[in-house]
Structure 1
Amino acid sequence: MRMAAAFLTVAISFAPLDFAMAKKQAAAVKVDPVISEPLSQTMPIIGRLVASQTGVVAALTGGPVSEVRVAVGDKVKKGDVVAKLVTDRIRWNRQLRAAAVREKQAALQAAKAQLSLTQVELKRLQSLKKSAAFSQARFDDKSNEVVKYRSEVGVQKAAVASAQAEQRLADIDMHNSVIRAPYDGVVSRKNTVAGAYLSVGDAVITMINHTDLEIEADVPSERLNGLEVGRSIGVKLDSGQPMRAIVRALVPDENALTRTRPVRFTPDFNAVGTGQLQLARNQSVTVLVPIGRPRNIVSVHKDAVIPRGGKNIVFVVNEGKVNLRAIRLGSAIGNRFEVIEGLGVGDLVVVRGNERLRPGQAISHKGLVKEGEQKTTSLKGKQSSP
């Protein structure tokens, strides 16, 4: 009985010592700063990639096809030859037009020579006006001939110009007999083969400019307030690859059934490179359309918030110890909450180990500001290391 009483006395005497040691021992925790960040809630809308240049490459002159140099899927550069026409008829027509130009030029020279000769004769008759050999009738006839030949020179000049225009058209036909790619792209369809006859405007190939793609999405009219030309928004490809895009145009053409309007975005493919993405026209893209205009908010990490007694509380670090503080929260933004009341930018809150803390308890964490030092906190939203 005496031994039990002695043991109890010793235990009681050591209890205050153990409690004091526990009180002095700092709890290791992880903290995170309260930050200010722009709030921009978004809603996903399915869009698609569209090519700014796509369509049929047509024949600009008629004739039989000599060869088609490309196949479906081939990549071509602007100016590359994609097909050729048989040029025998075009070449001989060009020579015929050139001969017609020379013929008209010869006729013009003859008309000019006749005009010059008639003008000389008229001048000779005019010099005889004061002599008995002068004949007014002959003078009048020669004057009329000058007018006639002067008109003939004008007609022949017009004929030369017409023949030269015909020759120029023949040159254009010869040039257009070689069909070239109008822009960089990929051949998506082959519309003709060697031996087929093409008229002006007939399709040769169909191309898509895969290097100049935009995003088009049909956005509900009530969500257009969050979109401004030049604003950067987030998008995701169907592979999950995130990137940014700039609002290029809001097309004023509303669908009466869906109450949506097409919006064009210019994506930034430079970060990953178009060659690695294997992009295609009409490929699905998720556009994260902002809901309203962005605003700056104060936010706290979700792990710092502890629901207790119908309230939300956090442990705020102050001079190496933690204080309990009740806060009022707003919307959730990712892994953070908007703080309506109770915290300020730069406050350090405990995000790991807060479930076992008591108000006034000492804590330790990497980067804790010591007493007397000026407190500087990053407001970039990055969590501090434990």
Structure 2
Amino acid sequence: MPAHTCRFLVAIVLSLAAVVGSAENGQGPLVEVVRPERGLVRDELITFGSLRSAESLMIRPEIDGRLARLHFQEGQAVSAGDLLVSLDDAVARAELALARANLDLAASNLRRSQLLFQRGASNAQALDEARAEAQARRASLALARARLDKTQIRAPYDGLLGLRQVSPGDYLEAGQDIVNLEVLDPLKLDFRVPQKAVGQVRPGQVVEIRLDAFADEVFHGRISAINPQLDVAGRSQAIRAQLSNPGLRLKPGQFVRVTVILAERPQALLIPEEAVMPLGERLLVNLVVDGKVEQREIRLGRRLGGRAEVREGLSGDETLISAGWHKVRPGMAVRTRPAGAGA
């Protein structure tokens, strides 16, 4: 047997002999003890996502026409109903005047036909034709008025304008991009969770958002919608959350780290990880009860930076051996001192 192995075995035997001797003398080995603490423990799911505008719209004309005037500045905040763009309306106004004149003529013809019919000087067919003509002229007037209204483009809701794509004097075609309008408060957050976590996520759960632009800050939101269909390729589920954005500090398109708070236990029982003694598949702790060692099996939950959550096995008023438990056995008398105290 190698010499260093012999020396190691001798040291173990001497250590055990010292422990046994101290126990027989009534002194017992010295161990450090702690009391369980209560604290907040959270079950979390960490993933990544991107921010989106609550509403995002590209302002476009519905009819062709020359851009007569822009009523906004790039990056300007606007309110619903604010006038943004005026197209040249000369033709539309002329069409409206023509339609109004045609309606006046049709209305006069209808009155004349009604009078002649009452006197028996006209038949029902002529009256019906005059009535139909008047209705057609009213429809033409409504159409001309609608075309004139479409030369004035207004903001559909409150928001912030982006960069314009046109200049005054341009001839615009229907559907051509003019400027984008974004609603930045609140914002949407889109992210995905893996298939195995689908059952743990539900609307209303809190999410925490972190991003490099604000490294020391945490933003909060809530899950607002869950896509009922999983992505076939990635076997993941699309989730959407909503978060407030006061001051408009966050921007659509930013890549963020998302923490979904699945559950919170504000009064969870916590002990130091070094107090846990693994024994095969079992986890044990050594307690000091009336000055003697007692072992108890526990079940752990989350592990948080050197502390472990105890889900079963402890009530919270026990005294645990955190250091020196390898020197003791059940029933042995021990001397104690608080963990971290000097010798």
TM-score when scaled to structure 2? Answer: 0.71
**Distance in structure 2 (CA, Å) of the matches to 1:175 and 1:334:** 63
- Kindly indicate whether residue 29 of structure 2 is the aligned counterpart of residue 34 of structure 1: no
Q: Which residue of 1 aligns with 2:234?
A: 258
| SS of residue in 2 equivalent to 1:53 | strand
Q: Does 1:299 align with 2:299?
A: no
Task: Return the letter of the residue paired with 2:38.
Answer: I
Q: Higher strand proportion, which one?
A: 2
How far residue 217 of structure 1 moved from its aligned partner, in angstroms, is 0.5
Contact 1:69 1:81 in 2 (8 A): yes
| 2:219 paired with 1:247 | no
In structure 2, the residue corresponding to 1:190 is in which secondary structure?
Answer: coil
Indicate if the aligned counterparts of 1:228 and 1:247 stay in contact, CA closer than 8 A: yes
1:234 aligns with 2:237: no
Deviation at 1:163, TM superposition (A): 1.0
Deviation at 1:66, TM superposition (A): 0.7
Return the index of the structure with the highest Cα Rg. 1
| Residues 42 and 261, structure 2, Cα contact 8 Å, conserved in 1 | no
Cα-to-partner distance string for 1:242-289 (whole Å, 9 max, x where unaligned): 23332222213433332222111122x3xxx521x6111111121224
Match of 2:303 in 1: 333
Q: 1:49 to 1:351 in 2, by over 3 A?
A: farther
**Which amino acid is 2:144 matched to?**
A
**Aligned with 2:78 (options 73, 76, 79):** 76
1: distance between equivalents of 2:267 and 2:68?
69
The whole-number CA distance in structure 2 between the counterparts of 1:362 and 1:216 is: 52
**Correspondence for 2:66:** 64
The separation in 1 between residues aligned to 2:193 and 2:311, in whole angstroms, is: 31
**Partner of 1:164 in structure 2?**
138
The one-letter code matched in structure 1 to 2:134 is: V
Offset of residue 97 of structure 1 = 0.9
Give the drift of 1:106. Answer: 0.9
Which residue pairs with 2:11 in the alignment? none
Q: Distance in 1 between matches of 2:40 and 2:76?
A: 48
Change (3 A) 1:100 1:339: same
In structure 2, C-alpha distance between the alignment counterparts of 1:359 and 1:152, rounded to whole Å: 118
> Contact 1:186/1:210 (CA < 8 Å) preserved in 2?
yes
The percentage of aligned residue pairs carrying the same residue is: 19
Q: Which stretch shifts more, 332-341 or 171-180?
A: 332-341
TM-score by length of 1: 0.64
Please show how residues 339-354 of structure 1 align to structure 2 within 5 Å: 339=310, 342-347=313-318
Question: Whole-Å Cα distance in 2 between the matches of residues 46 and 192 of structure 1?
Answer: 36
Cα contact 1:30–1:350 (8 A) shared by 2: yes
SS at match of 1:189: coil
8 A contact 1:45–1:217 mirrored in 2: yes
What secondary structure, in the 3-state scheme, does the structure 2 residue paired with 1:343 have? coil
Provide the C-alpha distance between the structure 1 equivalents of 2:334 and 2:33, rounded to a whole number of angstroms: 16
Count of residue pairs brought into register by the alignment: 294
Which residue in the other structure is 2:28 paired with?
none
Amino acid at match of 1:260: S
- Aligned counterpart, 1:90: 92
Residue among 246, 256, 260 paired with 1:285: 256
Change (3 A) 1:282 1:314: farther
Write the distance in 2 (CA, Å) between the matches of 1:187 and 1:340.
53
Pick closer, same or farther for the CA change 1:59–1:346 going to 2, 3 Å. farther
Give me the whole-angstrom Cα distance separating, in 2, the residues matched to 1:71 and 1:30.
69
Q: 1:191 and 2:194 equivalent? A: no
**In the alignment, which of 220, 227, 246 is matched to residue 274 of structure 1?**
246
Unaligned runs of 5+ in 1: 1-28, 119-144, 353-357, 364-386
CA contact (8 A) 1:322 1:362 kept: no
Summarize the alignment of residues 359-370 of structure 1 with structure 2, pairs less than 5 Å apart.
359=334
Alignment partner of 1:234: what SS?
strand
Change in Cα spacing, 1:156 to 1:39, as seen in structure 2 (3 Å) is same
The residue number in structure 1 matching 2:25 is none
| CA deviation map 1:35-94 (0-9, x unaligned) | 376651x23211011223112112133321111123432222221221111222211211
CA contact (8 A) 1:245 1:265 kept: yes
CA-CA distance at 1:103 after TM superposition? 0.6
Over 3 Å counting, the alpha-carbon distance change for 1:94 and 1:214 in structure 2 is same
Q: Give the 3-state SS of the residue equivalent to 1:229 in structure 2.
A: coil
Matched, 1:109 2:111: yes
Q: Is the 8 A contact 2:206 2:221 kept in 1?
A: yes
C-alpha contact 2:37 2:270 (8 A) present in aligned 1 = yes
Relative distance call for 1:220 and 1:304 in structure 2 (3 A) is closer
| Paired amino acid for 1:280 | K
Alignment match, 2:51: 49
Q: Offset at 1:104?
A: 0.3
Q: CA deviation at 1:314?
A: 6.9
Name which of structure 1's ranges 100-109 and 53-62 shifts more when overlaid on structure 2: 53-62
Letter in structure 1 aligned against 2:142: R
What residue is the counterpart of 2:8 in the other structure?
none
